[in-house]
Amino acid sequence: MKKDLSNIKKAKYLLDNNHCVAIPTETVYGLAANAYSDKATSKIFKLKKRPKSNPLIVHYSRVQDLRKDCEINSNFQKLYSKFCPGPLTFVLKLKKESKISKNVTNMKNTLAVRFPKNLVTRNLLSYLKYPLAAPSANIYTQLSPVSKKDVKEEFGNKLKFILDGGNSKVGLESTIINLVNKPRVLRLGGLDIKKISKVLKRKLNYKTIKSTKVPGQSKFHYSPGIPIRLNVKKHYLDEAFVLIQKRKKFDKNYFYLSKNKNLKEAGKNLYKTLRNIKRLKFKKIAVEKIPNIGIGQTINDRLKRASKR
Ligand code: TXA
Ligand code: MG
């Protein structure tokens, strides 16, 4: 714990001085900077090689801090009390008097916000006088990192500090819901939209929006950098084969997301497995059919994007 605190102090020192620091969250690791600072947030885009047009999610530990930046409504309150801290991001109306940097919103009048669950990051946020803007800590279009080692692999020595908070427990990015008007799901993620539907007492559908005008929904994303084939029954000899359920036969090309079709477990293992396959220098990936229910929908969404070239 003592060591932990000294790492948090180091992260705070760097963030207070407008540097970027990678932070652990339960979804994926984030590349964080002071959301109120133009100088700090511009470094995120540079490090990630991310287009400036793609807005960032801002992370808070307390609702009272969020109130300074956003208009809160009853749908937010219902979802917050049920799921936060947790893998859910809200798009809300930005307040005129908010100090959020224009880099974060790309001049829009909405803001994406979330309350991460990882205790190390919650602890860090409680010491700061500003919220943290943080996209996933990977180079633009690449796989999101779920451990300190993964972040290191993405940025090498270009990043001053990675705050270690263990492996991400959810392993998939947050679900994004726009609450400015009628609730609308913008991205499938670590929280099943059926659960959100239940709390809001309304049906929520997610339709893939083809237009790249919707930020971050570009078709080619979450890529391990090698070709992926989906819904495969039998793999070729040169393919790593990703499976959702244990098979009787042993094969050195088999990589399991879960022993017994547990989709939450599979979600947690997805990016870790794809990264591992890449580390082992496979040139191609085949993936068994994943049931398209619950978190399986999110897994399929990510795999589909990753398979586009
Ligand atoms: O789990 C997560 O959400 C992780 C962790 C680090 O919090 N973050 C993450 O950030 O996945 P990023 O930047 O990789 O994806 C955020 C998505 C982007 O697609 C972005 O375009 C969208 O959120 N977004 C941000 N602000 C928005 C806004 N005001 N309206 C609509 N979409 C927004
Ligand atoms: Mg990302």
Interval 258-275: pLDDT, tens: 999 999 999 999 999 999
Atom 10 in ligand 1: which residue has the minimum CA distance? 135
Cβ(110) to ligand 1 under 6 A?
yes
- Residue 67 is predicted with a pLDDT of 98
Domains and CATH numbers, the chain: 2-200 (3.90.870.10), 228-307 (no CATH)
Cβ(173) to ligand 1 under 6 A?
yes
Task: Report which ligand 1 atom has the smallest distance to the Cα of 217.
Answer: 19
- Residue 212 is predicted with a pLDDT of 46
Question: How do residues 140-165 score in pLDDT, each as one tens digit?
Answer: 999 999 999 999 999 999 999 999 99
Cβ(218) to ligand 1 under 6 A?
no
Q: Distance between CA 75 and CA 90 in Å, rounded? A: 10
Q: Distance between CA 166 and CA 170 in Å, rounded? A: 12
> How far does residue 136's CA lie from ligand 2's centre (Å)?
4
Q: Is the pLDDT of residue 217 over 70?
A: no
Question: How do residues 10-33 score in pLDDT, each as one tens digit?
Answer: 999 999 999 999 999 999 999 999
Contacts by 204-211 with C-beta closer than 8 Å and gap 24+? Answer: 204/177, 206/297, 208/301
- Residue 107 is predicted with a pLDDT of 84
The CA distances from residue 252 to 109, 110, 256, 272, in Å, are 51, 48, 11, 17
Q: Distance between CA 19 and CA 30 in Å, rounded? A: 14
User: What single-letter amino acid sits at 118?
Assistant: N
> How far does residue 58's CA lie from ligand 2's centre (Å)?
13
Cβ(191) to ligand 1 under 6 A?
no
Q: How confident is the model at residue 224 (pLDDT cuts 50, 70, 90)?
A: confident
State the sign of the Cα–Cα–Cα–Cα dihedral 261, 254, 271, 149.
Answer: positive
Average pLDDT for 43-66: 97
Atom 18 in ligand 1: which residue has the minimum CA distance? 216
| Closest-approaching ligand to the CA atom of 41 | 1
> How far does residue 82's CA lie from ligand 1's centre (Å)?
21
> How far does residue 221's CA lie from ligand 2's centre (Å)?
8
Average pLDDT for 271-286: 97
> How far does residue 147's CA lie from ligand 2's centre (Å)?
15
- Taking the model in full, what pTM does it have? 0.95
| Closest-approaching ligand to the CA atom of 172 | 1
Angle at 128 between CA 125 and CA 131, to 5 degrees: 65
Q: How confident is the model at residue 215 (pLDDT cuts 50, 70, 90)?
A: low
Mutate to test the pocket of ligand 1, among 50, 95, 176, 185 (most ligand atoms within 8 A of CB): 176
Q: Distance between CA 185 and CA 203 in Å, rounded? A: 11
Q: Is the pLDDT of residue 214 over 70?
A: no
Mutate to test the pocket of ligand 1, among 98, 106, 173 (most ligand atoms within 8 A of CB): 173
Cβ(89) to ligand 1 under 6 A?
yes
Average pLDDT for 173-196: 97
Token pair 């809001």: residue: 200
Q: Distance between CA 103 and CA 229 in Å, rounded? A: 37
Q: Is the pLDDT of residue 211 over 80?
A: no
- Residue 216 is predicted with a pLDDT of 54
- Residue 59 is predicted with a pLDDT of 99
CB crowding 236-262: b at 16 or more within 10 Å, else e: eeebbbbbbeeeeeeeebebbbbeeee
Lowest mean pLDDT among 179-188, 221-230, 248-257, 272-281: 221-230
Mean pLDDT of the chain: 94
Nearest to 169 by CA among 268, 257, 267: 268
> How far does residue 250's CA lie from ligand 2's centre (Å)?
34
Q: DSSP class of residue 157?
A: G
Beta-carbon neighbours within 5 Å of ion ligand 2? 136
Q: Is the pLDDT of residue 101 over 80?
A: yes
Q: How confident is the model at residue 257 (pLDDT cuts 50, 70, 90)?
A: very high
